[in-house]
């Protein structure tokens, strides 16, 4: 993979990693799962704490799953999780993977097109049959988030999130860009399926989301970037944190996180 220069503004505070560890194949890779075969070799790019990686491993009892991430501490957690699921993580070579997948990664990199090209490069050429080889990605669109009840403090958080992501060299609205990035990376439209799904939280799960962001607003990499880039103050971040905590205590909570997905079926002969 190419060297990345963007800043991962979420950071790896426990509030971030715990949230990421709740992700599953069901809620984050349902668009890909029906295409996975028991013998597939899968590369999970930016695997984080490995919850999706472990789920993928369960789908390939005769295959292999490799998870890669830039941060050693989350890889340690991923290794432990995958060991508990009795799957092996191994080194990988170019052009050996049947499936190359990333989830909520491209929004955090400076060159998402370059990363997609690399993902395509390490995927096997397709076999021309019903199984084939795939490159898959799923990216959120922060500009499309919606919540109830309305809250001015959460509006402020949304504006700060956009500003700190851009200041970090990232694209917070990656979901709406994903299909264009894929085309520029050489993914032919006729071989690329584009879909949109959402995480829709209500009740206790929405409350957990609010409490998580109340913590992240002051303790995670998000807070560090906001202050370091002169986008806000500690006092302002405390106000955003309180807004999240207060919102989480309200009735009839609703929070929607839309994400765009691309599923590229690699053709039998991959152009150079």
Confidence band (pLDDT; 50, 70, 90) for 49? confident
When comparing pLDDT for 234 and 74, which is higher? 234
Domain ranges of the chain: 14-266
**pLDDT higher than threshold 80 for residue 4:** no
Confidence band (pLDDT; 50, 70, 90) for 71? low
Q: What is the pLDDT of residues 201-250, one digit of tens each?
A: 999 999 999 999 999 999 999 999 999 999 999 999 999 999 999 999 99
- pTM, two decimal places: 0.83
User: Considering the chain, what percentage of its residues have pLDDT values greater than 90?
Assistant: 74
Q: What is the pLDDT of residues 19-47, one digit of tens each?
A: 557 789 998 999 999 999 999 999 999 98
Cα torsion 109, 110, 113, 119: sign: negative
- Unique residue bearing structure tokens 């152009």: 271
Minimal CA–CA distance to 45: which of 101, 125, 110, 108? 101
Q: Which of 16-30, 86-100, 125-139, 235-249 has the lowest mean pLDDT?
A: 86-100
The Cβ of residue 85 has, within 10 Å, a number of other Cβ atoms equal to 15
Domain 14-266 has CATH 3.40.50.150: yes
- Unique residue bearing structure tokens 């369960």: 58
Instruction: Please compute the mean of the pLDDT values over residues 175-179 and round it to a whole number.
Output: 98
| Cα–Cα dist 205/266, whole Å | 37
Q: For residue 159, what pLDDT is reported?
A: 97
């Amino acid at each position: 993979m190419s060297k990345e220069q963007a800043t991962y503004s979420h950071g790896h505070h426990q509030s971030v990693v715990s949230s990421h560890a709740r992700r599953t194949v069901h809620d984050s890779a349902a668009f890909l799962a029906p295409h996975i075969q028991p013998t597939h070799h899968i590369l999970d790019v930016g695997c984080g704490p490995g919850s999706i990686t472990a789920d993928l491993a369960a789908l390939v009892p005769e295959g292999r799953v490799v998870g890669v991430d830039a941060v050693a501490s989350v890889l340690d957690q991923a290794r432990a999780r995958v060991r508990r699921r009795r799957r092996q993580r191994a080194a990988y070579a170019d052009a050996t993977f049947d499936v190359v997948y990333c989830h909520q990664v491209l929004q955090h990199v400076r060159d998402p097109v370059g990363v997609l090209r690399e993902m395509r490069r390490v995927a096997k050429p397709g076999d021309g049959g019903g199984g084939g080889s795939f490159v898959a990605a799923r990216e959120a669109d922060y500009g499309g988030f919606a919540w109830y009840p309305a809250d001015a403090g959460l509006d402020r958080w949304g504006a700060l999130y956009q500003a700190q992501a851009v200041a970090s060299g990232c694209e917070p609205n990656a979901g709406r860009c994903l299909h264009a990035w894929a085309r520029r990376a050489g993914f032919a439209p006729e071989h690329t399926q584009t879909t949109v799904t959402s995480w829709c939280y209500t009740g206790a799960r929405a409350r957990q989301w609010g409490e998580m962001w109340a913590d992240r607003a002051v303790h995670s990499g998000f807070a560090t970037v906001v202050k370091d880039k002169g986008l806000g103050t500690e006092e302002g971040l405390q106000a955003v944190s309180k807004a999240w905590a207060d919102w989480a205590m309200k009735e009839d909570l609703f929070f929607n996180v839309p994400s765009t997905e691309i599923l590229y079926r690699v053709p039998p002969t991959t152009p150079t």
